[in-house]
Amino acid sequence: MAFENDSFLDLQKFCTELIAKHPEKIFSSSNFTSIPEKALISLIQHDNHQMGEVQVWEHVLKWGIAKNPGLSSDPSSYSNDDFNVLKNDLQHFIPLIKFTEFTSREFLNEVYPYKKIIPDEMCENLVKYFLDHDYVPRKKSEPQIIKELNTKGIDSNIITIQHAELISKWIDGLEITDESKSLYEFKLIFRGSRDGFTARQFHKICDNLSRTVTIIKVKDTNEILGGYNPIEWKNSNNSINCHGTTKDSFIFSFINKENIENHIISRVKNEKYAICNWFNYGPSFGNEDLTLYEGFQSEVSFKNKKSRCCKSSYDKQIRKTEEEFSVDEYEVFQIINDN
């Protein structure tokens, strides 16, 4: 149940660690095959799960076959359509299996009969590896944990795939040169030019949503600003208690959207003031570290020159100036672990 809602991230982590210590309690359960895909992926990715890789593979197969009641447990009876159905259901698991830790016999008996569900290049490299253990596959196709970001279809008028990949690394606490660890989908939930440039519209659509990334295009510049909020947005008119607390939020800027390496990332240092939920602010972070402000004029809008970045609750100033700016466009994405 915890894995059905990303509001329960701490509970998900607790469950995964508990299961990792006693995986047999899950895998020997009569309703093991009903475990959500996301939960099974999380367990497989856990560094300390107490299972051999062959066991992992066997359980993944069992789970995939159970999703298709018409499938036999004997792959020799499969049609091409049967293999394609199973391949589609297990596509996110295959890159997570450490096939090179199998013995040659285990690979021959447990994996090779299912070779049609494994990507061709990976399968070819595995065959070469088990025929010649000195064979070293090209890094691109190395048959071990391979994780790629699911950002190819990102729906954005501001950022590119490359921006999304870097932001995903920051969510995982990584640097630009580090290897990606997670599978994320950037789901567009708000766009200023489509949904409006007022705080009211932002709160109407985005309140109670967690794990969001805000992307802001500064008017009359090539600047992109943004921030990550792992907790839920709220709407508060209480100036004393309008902040949200988290240690995992951050804000960032790209000085020129064409140059991804020219960026600043600023992580929260005062956790109690990480997120600002003031009723006439849009997505805002800290004590004006990054604030979308509509003002109190009769025609309120983030397009008025009222928004600003002033270092306070985060460790770095993300703009060269503290001058107020106008928003040309902004988007809010919910970050979802790819299933």
Which residue did the predictor score with more confidence, 47 or 275?
275
Which pLDDT band holds residue 125 (cuts at 50, 70, 90)? confident
| pLDDT (average), residues 250-278 | 93
Give the Cα separation of 37 and 55 in Å (integer): 17
Which pLDDT band holds residue 92 (cuts at 50, 70, 90)? confident
Mean pLDDT computed over every residue of the chain: 85
Take residue 144 and report the two structure tokens written for it: 């071990």
Give the Cα separation of 40 and 28 in Å (integer): 14
Give the other-Cβ count within 10 Å of 245's Cβ: 13
Which residue did the predictor score with more confidence, 12 or 318?
318
Residue 324 Cα distances to 175, 266, 289, 309, angstroms = 29, 19, 12, 8
- Whether 86 and 65 have beta carbons less than 8 Å apart is answered as yes
pTM (2 d.p.): 0.57
Q: What is the largest CA-CA distance in the chain?
A: 75
User: Does the pLDDT of residue 142 top 60, yes or no?
Assistant: no
Give the Cα separation of 8 and 1 in Å (integer): 9
Which residue did the predictor score with more confidence, 146 or 262?
262
Torsion of CA 216, 217, 218, 224, to 10 degrees: 80
